[in-house]
């Protein structure tokens, strides 16, 4: 399996490179990074010295390999994907461009996306819930980091909670903001600091609602609040919903995630921590029931760069290729 990565030098791109090192049958054939074309990869990322030798290239669709990962800012893949599909490539898009209906996308992202017919070719790549569609897809819309953690954490509970009562309070490490230098990612501004951002208007809101709606009979209306935590990797979602039917939630989740290798349902009432999945493709989930307030409280954690981006993309590639979905992804988190 020959691989090309477009947008190879962002944090998702370089994580794809790290993970593909570990993959038994995939091999990186070309790395595209327009702003750094001509440089050696190790000039940009010295940690890859002696590991991956590539010259970064200007994008040329004809030079892409059979499998193409797009790790580009929103708006880019909307333009590139049509020609990649036409050229017969299997495409996994890590951006948000193909995840939402056209109108929803454009109202939350404030930019144009692809046309309807291309959007309809895309399969939403959350393997724990849509594996069958993924198997036959040519184009994957790889889920966002927050939507992965949130939807995996809430989906099993949907039949038993009030879908209008859902509140998702999410905390992310700084790598989620990408590698571009800005005041928002300046060490002096982020270290020893904690902040919310984009309250009530983050573009991942409709993506979470869409997924929760697809996996249930329910039409959710959620409040989603992202926060920036002073750490590099990790997302923790704390999710609240009013219980409408008293069930054994631990059993409900166990049933939902049986045979899903990357979901680790932790003991009821326990506290998964972001570091416990760091560097890995796992999503750890724990349910809590508060009888005093009749609320379900779910905690889910992922590594935003792995299960929230590059790792899930490879999991999707494995499924599309007919491989075991864990191929190349069965390693321990890095702890401490």
Q: Are 302 and 149 in contact (CB under 8 A)?
A: yes
Q: Is 237 a catalytic residue?
A: no
Minimum Å gap between C-beta 328 and a second copy is 11
The SS3 call for residue 22 is coil
Question: Alpha-carbon torsion 331, 179, 95, 203, what sign?
Answer: positive
Minimum Å gap between C-beta 253 and a second copy is 14
Which one-letter DSSP state was computed for residue 46? G
Q: Are 202 and 258 in contact (CB under 8 A)?
A: no
Q: How far apart are CA 244 and CA 159, in angstroms?
A: 8
- Of 117 and 182, the one with the shorter C-beta distance to a second copy is 182
The alpha carbon torsion through 25, 28, 29, 31 (nearest 10 deg) reads: 160
- Of 90 and 171, the one with the shorter C-beta distance to a second copy is 171
Minimum Å gap between C-beta 194 and a second copy is 5
Q: Are 47 and 22 in contact (CB under 8 A)?
A: no
Q: Are 36 and 59 in contact (CB under 8 A)?
A: no
Minimum Å gap between C-beta 329 and a second copy is 12
Q: How far apart are CA 240 and CA 161, in angstroms?
A: 10
Q: Are 207 and 96 in contact (CB under 8 A)?
A: yes
- Of 37 and 195, the one with the shorter C-beta distance to a second copy is 195
- Of 14 and 126, the one with the shorter C-beta distance to a second copy is 14
Q: Are 215 and 158 in contact (CB under 8 A)?
A: yes
- Of 47 and 217, the one with the shorter C-beta distance to a second copy is 47
Query: Strand runs (DSSP E) across 201-279, as ranges?
Result: 223-228, 235-242, 263-265
Q: Which of 31, 145, 314, 319 is catalytic?
A: 145
Q: Are 212 and 155 in contact (CB under 8 A)?
A: yes
Minimum Å gap between C-beta 50 and a second copy is 5
What positions carry a catalytic annotation?
145
């Amino acid at each position: 399996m020959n691989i090309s990565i477009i947008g190879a030098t962002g944090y998702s791109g370089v994580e794809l490179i790290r993970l593909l090192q570990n993959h038994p049958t995939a091999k990186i054939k070309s790395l595209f990074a327009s702003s750094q074309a001509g440089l050696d990869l190790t000039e940009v990322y010295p940690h890859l010295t002696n590991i991956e030798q590539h010259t970064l290239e200007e994008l040329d669709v004809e030079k892409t390999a059979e499998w193409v990962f797009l790790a580009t800012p929103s708006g880019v893949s909307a333009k590139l994907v049509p020609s990649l599909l036409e050229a017969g490539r299997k495409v996994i898009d890590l951006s948000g461009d193909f995840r939402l209906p056209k109108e929803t996308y454009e109202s939350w992202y404030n930019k144009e996306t692809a046309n309807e017919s291309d959007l309809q070719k895309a399969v939403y790549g959350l393997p724990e819930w849509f594996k069958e569609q993924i198997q036959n897809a040519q184009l994957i819309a790889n889920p966002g980091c927050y939507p992965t953690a949130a939807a995996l954490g809430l989906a099993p509970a949907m039949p038993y909670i009030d879908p209008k009562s859902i509140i998702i309070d999410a905390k992310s490490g700084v790598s989620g903001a990408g590698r571009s230098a800005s005041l928002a990612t300046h060490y002096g501004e982020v270290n020893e600091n904690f902040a919310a951002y984009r309250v009530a208007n983050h573009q991942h809101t409709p993506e979470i609602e869409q997924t929760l709606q697809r996996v249930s009979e329910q039409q959710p209306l959620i409040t989603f609040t992202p926060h920036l935590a002073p750490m590099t990797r990790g997302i923790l979602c704390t999710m609240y919903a009013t219980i409408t039917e008293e069930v054994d939630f631990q059993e409900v989740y166990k049933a939902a995630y049986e045979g899903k290798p990357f979901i680790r349902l932790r003991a009821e009432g326990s506290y998964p921590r972001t570091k416990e999945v760091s560097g890995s493709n796992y999503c750890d989930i724990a349910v809590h029931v508060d009888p005093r307030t009749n609320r379900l409280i779910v905690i889910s954690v992922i590594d935003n760069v792995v299960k929230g981006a590059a790792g899930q993309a490879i999991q999707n590639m494995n499924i599309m290729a007919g491989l075991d979905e864990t191929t190349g992804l069965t390693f321990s988190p890095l702890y401490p």
